A = this chain, B = another copy of it.
Amino acid sequence: MKISRVTAYDLRFPLPAAAGSDAVHLNPVYSLAACVLEADDGTLGTGFTLTLGTGNDLVCEAIRYQRDAVLGGDPDELLAELGTRWHSWANEGQLRWLGPHKGVVHLALAAIVGGLTDLWAKKKQVPLWQGLLEMSPEQVTALIDFSTIDDYLSPEEAIELLETRSLGAEATKAQLDRGYPAYDTSVGWLGYDKTLLVENVLVSKERGYGAVKIKVGSRNLASDVERLAAVREVLGSDALVMIDANQIWGVAGAIRAGKALAEFEPFWFEEPVHPDDLVGYLCVRDALAPMRIAGGEHIPNQVVFKNFLQRGALDVAQPDVVRLGGLPEYLAVALMAAKAGVPVLPHAGDMGQLHQHLIYFTRCRLGMPELPLEMIPHLREHFLEPCTIEHGRYVTPKSPGSSSGLRPESINRFAWRATTPSGHPERL
């Protein structure tokens, strides 16, 4: 099998009013910069990153600049030494200056590597989770570029972690059979008023979710307090309620808010400050202990994750495979988090499509606790195989690939423009 065509699609999907809104991102247009790899036998591998609208075309252009990474290659060969190849892709001398390893070019790499990952699993005729569970420790470590992290985690340590932390065959099978618990982020967008918020929370509870996430960072802290109090009241003390500030506060503001909200026992406090602010995270975490601090949705690469884990800044690591540079960095972060003893519960910038696979890697191969994985139910109608939630749990996907395939109707209807192999943007 050879990759004969690489196409980028700029897809922009309208959302219902206030959906997706948080303290910092007031008016998001959920958009996918999608990368479709077409193999010579017609098989399609799809990868994407999520943006919030403006500039999604820049990511698509950056996909075009990087598509030679995979064009003409065989998925098996590319995957076999992915760590080495990824290193050279991510360090292309001219594009690298636009990062390095962050921003538009890195998001584009996520989409390309996502397409490759999907195609590889389809060629193997297995769901991505199965492909990852079947790899030897050595095969897993060959997917990773250790050059920037080996002062914290060497390939040998990674192999040892994989050898010693596995749940074992029986427990893995049981886990796959019962699926994986989800938490519902869509109840509590910041643009929803308190009445709608409470209604949503009740619907979510009826549907079987045992955990929800509420956006905080309202104009007045009193409003956050009131909203969280209302949610805690209707859900009772057993439900897990996460809060997410989406980076709105400085260190003092985050500490003040965390103290005001502590009485409602949030299960974690997510993105209290700017995502680059390692020292800020440490200050907030110290001041609010034992409140758990979560972050990672905007940690751009494995280097920054390494620093956050080395210094103990996170109680929950939230890498997002569609914001990191794809599978190699995701696995690197998972292994470093395992070493640090920090659970990995990804941010669902992929709407859960990919992470419903990857969660079995961290749960079954690294023995992480069965804490709930984010679920954002937007864009479901655009995926060929949207993830299935039953009684608040992800049902383990069975089809080959990474569940990233997009419906042709959606591509046609919502394409802003496509970048063809000839390099000319065109309206589909």
Residues of A bordering B, CB below 8 Å: 24-29, 51-55, 57-59, 61-62, 65, 91-107, 147-148, 150-151, 247, 250-252, 273-280, 283, 298, 300-301, 303-304, 306-307, 310-311
Distance in angstroms from A274 CB to nearest chain B CB is 5
Majority secondary structure of chain A interface residues (helix, strand, loop or mixed):
loop
**Once the chains bind, are A151 and B280 in contact (CB under 8 Å)?**
yes
Q: Can you report 14 A-B residue pairs in the complex whose CB atoms are below 8 A from each other?
A: A52-B93, A53-B94, A54-B65, A62-B104, A99-B102, A100-B298, A102-B103, A104-B105, A148-B277, A150-B251, A151-B251, A276-B304, A277-B303, A279-B307
Residues of B within 8 A of A298 (CB): 100
Are B303 and A274 touching (Cβ within 8 A)? yes
A58 CA to B98 CA, complexed, in Å: 9
Known: A24-B93, A25-B94, A51-B98. A277 touches B103 (CB 8 A): no
CA distance A52 to B98 in the complex (A): 8
Residues of chain B within 8 A of A102, CB atoms compared? 99, 102-103, 276, 300
Q: Contacts A55-B65, A150-B252 given; indicate if A97 touches B25 (C-beta within 8 A).
A: yes
A26 neighbours in B (Cβ, 8 Å): 93
Q: Which residues of B contact A59 (CB under 8 A)?
A: 98
**Residue among A54, A91, A150, A311 with max Cβ neighbours from chain B (10 Å):** A54
Residues of B within 8 A of A100 (CB): 247, 274-275, 298
Known interface pairs A53-B94, A103-B104, A103-B106; 13 further A-B residue pairs with C-beta atoms within 8 A, sorted by A's residue number: A24-B96, A28-B93, A28-B97, A52-B97, A54-B95, A55-B62, A58-B62, A98-B104, A102-B102, A102-B300, A151-B250, A151-B252, A151-B283
In the complex, chain B residues whose CB is within 8 Å of the CB of A52: 93-94, 96-97
Q: Which of B29, B250, B306 contacts A94 (CB 8 A)?
A: B29
B311 and A279 form a contact (CB under 8 A): yes
| Contact of B252 with A97 in the complex, beta carbons under 8 Å | no
CB of A52 to closest CB in B, whole Å: 4
Given A91-B24, A274-B148, A51:B304 Cβ within 8 A: no
Give Cα A301 to B103, complex, Å: 13
Known contacts A55-B65, A93-B26; A276/B101 CB under 8 A: yes
* Also in contact, A103 and B99, with CB within 8 A (given A55-B62, A274-B148): yes
What residues on B are CB-neighbors of A279 within 8 Å?
Answer: 306-307, 310-311
CB-CB < 8 A to A65: which residues of B? Answer: 54-55
